[in-house]
Amino acid sequence: MADRTVHVWGARTPTARGSAWPERVDVHLDGVREDEVDRWVGAACVLCSNGCGCEIAVKDGRMVGVRGRAADRVNRGRLGPKGLYGSTPWASSPDRLTTPLVREDGRLVETDWDTAMGRIVERSRALLDEKGPLSHGFYTSGQLFLEEYYTLAVIGKAGLGTPHMDGNTRLCTATAGASLKESFGADGQPASYDDIEQCDALFLFGHNMPETQTVLWARILDRIEGSEPPRVVCVDPRRTEVAVAAGRTGGVHLAPRVGTNLALMNALTRELLAHEWLDADWVEAHTVGLEELRATVEPYTPEEAARTCGVDADDVRRAARIFGESGAVLSTVLQGFYQSHQATAAACGVNNLHLLRGMLGRPGCGVLQMNGQPTAQNTRETGADGDLTGFRNWENAAHVEELARLWNVDPMTIPHWAPPTHAMQIFGYAETGSIGLLWISATNPAVSMPESPRIRRILGGDQCFVVVQDLFLTETAALADVVLPAAGWGEKTGTFTNADRTVHLAEKAVDPPGEARSDLDIFLTYADAMGLTDRDGSPLVGWRTPEEAYDAWVEASRGRPCDYSGITYDLLRERGAVQWPLGTTRLYADAEFPTSTDYCEDYGHDLATGATTTEQQHRATAAAGRAFLKAAAYSPPHEEPSEDYPLIFTTGRVVHQFHTRTKTGRSRRLHHAAPDPWVELSEADARALGIADGQRVRVESPRGSLEAPARIGPVTEGAVFAPFHYAGAGQANELTMTVWDPVSKQPTFKTAACRVVPLEGD
């Protein structure tokens, strides 16, 4: 097979509008032939939210490669470079954690499970006795399995009763969840990947899909190569492959100044309204808020957007016309919106465009408020991110009581007296020591959270006892008091849900190394050791196996928007990939939204300030099944360029690396394809600063700096782009800011002021 680190999307299988995406099975094996493989084990890839169905090759008790599943609705057999080359090499890496570690005289030393868990339980009990449940914080992931999150959520909410639980999903897709709640009443992706074959136009908002969901992009490329291709519109300050496709398809590349998305969205909305590109009857019947929306966007003429965003006014008109005149539009939204300024308001702006044209729930029409991590959807569904389990509303007493009955605990145990604590706040409490035990699972905040110098101080200080549960001794684990060795993908069984509500079962293929245990087993061990019980004195967590945990979750989801009823392990084994709710390709086909006050997941917020809407105010909207058109005025980013820091710093990803590289950095091919950090500058800025391509530079913000070679590239003038994958001297988060969106509380990784200093001698 071709080197897929170079031929990222593989060979084209052109697809005409309305026809099925053809199969193409991608395989990669490390040093064995296909006929030498002992077993193939069913799974799906966990290196992004696309969730490509695959099988794991096992030879002599080791994972030796992967093969795409031809029948899978998500990928029809395809896998991208990360999936092919990054799925298995890490598992047999010699530096896997194989025993627990505890800190003795300042050093981490190997120990057994009883000792390690004993230390955690001792600290946990002491803190509960002395300070109560608010002394405990949990910071989990978008990379565990649904069963593990659900178990953690029950331990935290019904066992300990702490509101301090969140996932790194706060850094990732909190805005996806928030914008879906604000517009439609509950989380859950309206669209289906099948819409790609049905749409006439594709809008990608702050989404570099060619590098970050490569198989989904291959699907779009196949449409572009087929008959009746869709037009592509790209909203990204860099000239990404999406922008190139916009050029090829007669679409538009809008390159807004970093941090100005909302001004652009308001202008696009104003254009739709001004040209009456709307389905007036549908809007009247199925939405509330049109007049407020009209008033809010009125000042945002294309010329105003041109001034604020630095785009061409005619390009705004052209993009709006494509949205307004296409028969079916599919939009995707990701980090260029979620991690930028006014994130939730800008993401809701995309929902608004679809609501205005009644383009939801129909073939080719819909919004994918994308996820990034493979299992982020499940963190949100189960409530391991602090949301109330099953898309319930923590402010609705009936929802809390429903869970209290299910878990057989006092409703007062379940935290619901204040909003759940978001990750940025959890780290703030750990900083002061008011959280005295912080348990981190499957995430590496020492590299991935904003303002790393501060995060290192928090994790390394004595004010808080830190537990880290990971596959490797990461930068974060190295600062912990107890390190627990976890089993990873392929070494345990569990389910997860991708960005179009497709559920997969990933089965255990091999044993974990040494004494590593599944995260489910680790959480169960803690629940047992703490003696967590329900109201009748029975064990609070009544399940032992992944399937039992899953079945318990299905009960918790019943009757809620994310209803998993009928989706069993057996069905997942039989069909491979199943969307929730069972039999539902698209949400809202009936234009009935989960916005009634008694059913919705959230009463909503003011998008500009984050002020919450009360239950009474929500009732007064009488939305009752209609969606909300919500908007806000644009305001400038928190930190704007100044004389000292004249450029804007923004960050993101490259195709060959995944996050802090714990997996992809251990794949020989992926590592060599992108081994080192770099920073991207526009030609004009490089010239003005006297910086040559490849020259080493230092990028400085008021918080810190990084050093890396410069690349002169397609970023807009005035902006500097750095990948955030690389720990150490090139670590992007040394520069980023501790600020977050007022509604989703997602940190702003994509806007900070910076200056670039050329270094000698390179």
Binding interface with ligand SF4 (CB under 6 A): 45, 47-48, 50-52, 75, 79-80, 82-83, 213-215
546 near 145, Cβ under 8 Å?
A: yes
Partner touching 321 among Mo ion, ligand SF4, ligand MGD, none, CB below 5 to 8 Å by kind? none
Please report whether residue 172 would count as binding Mo ion according to CB under 5 A.
Answer: yes
Tokens of 187: 């989380």
Partner touching 83 among ligand MGD, Mo ion, ligand SF4, none, CB below 5 to 8 Å by kind? ligand SF4
Q: What is each CA distance from 568 to 192, 545, 577, in whole angstroms?
A: 21, 14, 11
Q: What is each CA distance from 643 to 649, 753, 756, in whole angstroms?
A: 15, 10, 12
Tell me the C-alpha distance between 152 and 167, whole Å.
Answer: 11
94 near 506, Cβ under 8 Å?
A: no
Please report whether residue 723 would count as binding Mo ion according to CB under 5 A.
Answer: no
Partner touching 273 among ligand MGD, Mo ion, ligand SF4, none, CB below 5 to 8 Å by kind? none
399 near 382, Cβ under 8 Å?
A: no
Cβ proximity to ligand SF4: between 45 and 414 the closer is 45
State the nearest-atom distance from the C-beta of 84 to ligand SF4, in Å.
Answer: 7
Tokens of 446: 């020492």
State the nearest-atom distance from the C-beta of 80 to ligand SF4, in Å.
Answer: 3
Cβ proximity to ligand MGD: between 110 and 615 the closer is 110
* Chain position carrying tokens 């989380």: 187
Residue closest to ligand SF4, measured at CB: 83
**Long-range contacts of residues 244-248, Cβ cutoff 8 Å, at least 24 apart:** 245/220, 245/221, 248/224
* Chain position carrying tokens 């190997």: 110
* Chain position carrying tokens 């909190």: 174
Closest CA to 648 of 734, 723, 755: 755
Cβ proximity to ligand MGD: between 177 and 336 the closer is 336
Q: What angle do CA 133, 138, 140 make, to 5 degrees?
A: 160
Cβ proximity to ligand SF4: between 80 and 349 the closer is 80
State the nearest-atom distance from the C-beta of 214 to ligand MGD, in Å.
Answer: 7
Residue closest to ligand MGD, measured at CB: 372
State the nearest-atom distance from the C-beta of 212 to Mo ion, in Å.
Answer: 9
State the nearest-atom distance from the C-beta of 216 to ligand MGD, in Å.
Answer: 10
Cβ proximity to ligand SF4: between 53 and 420 the closer is 53
Cβ proximity to ligand SF4: between 241 and 606 the closer is 241
Partner touching 210 among Mo ion, ligand SF4, ligand MGD, none, CB below 5 to 8 Å by kind? none
State the nearest-atom distance from the C-beta of 372 to Mo ion, in Å.
Answer: 3
463 near 430, Cβ under 8 Å?
A: yes
Closest CA to 546 of 584, 506, 606, 512: 506
Specify the amino acid at residue 570: D
* Chain position carrying tokens 């005289």: 105
Cβ proximity to ligand SF4: between 50 and 266 the closer is 50
Partner touching 556 among ligand MGD, Mo ion, ligand SF4, none, CB below 5 to 8 Å by kind? none
Specify the amino acid at residue 403: L
Q: Which of 372, 436, 723, 747 binds Mo ion (CB under 5 A)?
A: 372
Cβ proximity to ligand SF4: between 77 and 383 the closer is 77
State the nearest-atom distance from the C-beta of 507 to ligand MGD, in Å.
Answer: 14
State the nearest-atom distance from the C-beta of 754 to Mo ion, in Å.
Answer: 22
* Chain position carrying tokens 């099988």: 55
* Chain position carrying tokens 């008790």: 61
Applying CB under 6 A, the residues found at the interface with ligand MGD are: 48, 82, 141-144, 168, 171-172, 206-209, 211-212, 235-238, 240, 256, 258-259, 261, 334-337, 339-340, 372-373, 441-445, 447-448, 469-472, 474, 486, 488-489, 519, 650-653, 655, 657-660, 662, 721, 724, 732-733, 736, 749-750
Tell me the C-alpha distance between 144 and 452, whole Å.
Answer: 24
Q: Which residues contact 448 (CB under 8 A, 6 or more apart)?
A: 168, 171, 659, 660, 724, 733
Cβ proximity to Mo ion: between 123 and 656 the closer is 656
State the nearest-atom distance from the C-beta of 208 to Mo ion, in Å.
Answer: 12
Tell me the C-alpha distance between 440 and 469, whole Å.
Answer: 6
Tell me the C-alpha distance between 725 and 708, whole Å.
Answer: 13
Cβ proximity to ligand SF4: between 214 and 375 the closer is 214
Q: Which residues contact 702 (CB under 8 A, 6 or more apart)?
A: 639, 645, 753
Cβ proximity to ligand MGD: between 134 and 440 the closer is 440
State the nearest-atom distance from the C-beta of 191 to ligand SF4, in Å.
Answer: 17
220-246 burial by CB neighbour count: b if 16+ within 10 A, else e?
bbbbbebeebbbbbbbbbbbbbbbebb
State the nearest-atom distance from the C-beta of 215 to ligand MGD, in Å.
Answer: 11
Partner touching 215 among ligand MGD, ligand SF4, Mo ion, none, CB below 5 to 8 Å by kind? ligand SF4
State the nearest-atom distance from the C-beta of 508 to ligand MGD, in Å.
Answer: 12
Cβ proximity to ligand MGD: between 128 and 467 the closer is 467
Question: What's the half-sphere exposure (Cβ side, CA atoms, 13 Å) at 115?
Answer: 13
Question: What's the half-sphere exposure (Cβ side, CA atoms, 13 Å) at 108?
Answer: 20
Partner touching 10 among Mo ion, ligand SF4, ligand MGD, none, CB below 5 to 8 Å by kind? none
Partner touching 334 among Mo ion, ligand SF4, ligand MGD, none, CB below 5 to 8 Å by kind? ligand MGD
- Name the residues that contact Mo ion, by CB under 5 A: 172, 372-373
